Each structure stands twice: as structure tokens, then as C-alpha cells.
Amino acid sequence: MRIVAISNQKGGVGKTTTAINLSACLAEQGTRVLLIDLDPQANATSGLNIEPEEGLSLYTALTSHGRVDQMIRPTEIPNLSIIPSHMELAGCEIDLARTDNHLSKLRDLLQPLKSAETFDYVILDTPPSLGVLMTSALAAADELLIPLQCEYFGLEGLAKIVHVVEQIRNSGANPDVQIEGIVMTMFDPRTNLAQQVVSDVKRHFAETVYQSVVPRTIRLGEAPSFGKSIIEHEPKGRGAQAYRALASEFLERRSTAVSPVPEDGVEATTA
């Protein structure tokens, strides 16, 4: 079982959209997936047609006692389960910070799932911040997937998340965590800016960047309001095709070594 954190401290980059739809497309291909919603806003939870309920998030397990496997709920998509979120998780930012093991707590909670091998992948949807929940997710993850919108400010956010990952490694909390991939989102081929951002990111991060690009579409934006993934909402649309391609590439990478992101953010190999 691999734990994959989908993270970017900048909001509005398609992070939760990617968490929902990548998970759904992996499940569609027969992969057993557990999506854990770590964002107190609970958008991944409601986006899969599950009502957030107090007491059903990871709050209790993270701050006191509780078994993760007792919080798992099925979704309407075969092979896809979820641990929902709730606004109560916001309290973790304070309560967890008071503990000595706040960086390792989530990793320890997920260890029984690794041992049981019930799932092939655990996908962590993290908050758009640099708080305790996000750093705990990075400390628990085997790898990190970064959604990056095709805009100038996305480049600034990318530099920050790379720096945070280096801090997690150097702290000893998770020295093996790797940036597995960067997914370009909200791509509009009609604009020169989008083309330039993709080119710049590929030049600096080479093979780390996914070839599959997620377009900006109305259907992707409206699907969560129906409590559906894009493959349920518009199964033959551009968004569904993009996330299916992303899921296929994600699985293909499991058997192919990907060059890690260089520490100084400069080009390591030729794109």
C-alpha cells in the first residue's frame, strides 16, 4: 500500500478536484483506493455525496484514541472508500500542535492499514495551508502529488511546497518522502500564459511533470455540486478523459523510476 498526499498550500489549484477524480479513476481501473479527507472544509467528502458528520472524521483518532479502520465508509463508486472530514478537524491545528508526536501521529494511525493491505493506495486530500494537518500528511506520505494551476502564481506556490518537503525530510520526520509528480491543472490551450507556465515547469522539473494535463472545464467545476466525480457526471467529457489518462499514467509510473525534484529547483534532466 502506498500513501500519496495531494497537496499544495495555495488554494484554488484543483487539489480536491484532483483528489476526488484521480481516486475515482484509479478505482474505475480496479485499484482499491481509500481517500482520506484531511481538509476541515470537507469538500472531498461532499464531492462524493457524503454528508459531513461530527465524530466521523480523523479528529478523535488524531487527538486522542481511535482506530482508522472504524471510520472508513464506502462511496457510490466501486473500489473507492473514504474517511470523511468535518469542520471539527480544524481543532487539530491547535490540539495536535500541543503534542510531542504531532508529525508522526497520522503515520502511526495509518500503519495498521499498511499491514492489512486492504487498499492499494491511500490518497490524502490536504488543506490549502502550511498548518499541522498538511505537514502531518507529508510526514505520513510515501510520495507527494502536486496539482499546479497554469498561472504565474502557481510557480511561486510550487517553490514553497518544494521547500516544505525539504524541511520534512531534513527534520527526520519523513526522510524518504518524494515529490512523485506535478499535475498541471486548469489548462487553457488558447492562452500563451498557460503554454508558458507548462513549458517553464517542464524545463525545471523534467520527468516529474505528468504528460496528462487537466483542462479548465465547466463540468469539472460543477460536478461536486451534484456529489459526483467527473466520470459519473460527464463520463465522456474532456475532464473525464483527462483524469482517466492521469490515472493510467499514475499507475504506469509505479514500474518506472521518476527522477526526484532537485533540492535547488534547477533543471536535473532534459524534458
| 262: in domain | no
| 231: in domain | yes
CATH number at residue 128: 3.40.50.300
**Interatomic CA distance for residues 254 and 237, integer angstroms:** 27
| 43: in domain | yes
**Contact between 240 and 230 (Cβ < 8 Å):** yes
| 260: in domain | no
Alpha carbon 16 to its chain centroid, in Å, reads 7
**Interatomic CA distance for residues 82 and 201, integer angstroms:** 32
| 195: in domain | yes
DSSP classification of residue 73: E
| 22: in domain | yes
Q: How many structural domains comprise the chain?
A: 1
CA-wise closest residue to 145 among 101, 197, 181: 181
What tens digit of pLDDT does each residue of 118-164 get?
999 999 999 988 788 999 999 999 999 999 888 777 777 788 888 88
CA dihedral 81, 50, 182, 218 (to 10 degrees): 130
**Interatomic CA distance for residues 216 and 239, integer angstroms:** 8
What is the share, in percent, of the chain residues with pLDDT greater than 90?
A: 52
**Interatomic CA distance for residues 83 and 70, integer angstroms:** 9
**Contact between 166 and 26 (Cβ < 8 Å):** no
Domain that holds residue 109: 2-253
Ramachandran angles phi, psi of 219, nearest 5°:
-65, -40
What tens digit of pLDDT does each residue of 89-128 get?
888 878 877 777 778 889 999 999 988 889 999 999 999 8
Mean pLDDT of the chain: 87
CB atoms within 10 A of CB 270: 8
| 94: in domain | yes
More confident residue, 2 or 13: 2
| 258: in domain | no
pLDDT given for residue 212 in this prediction: 92
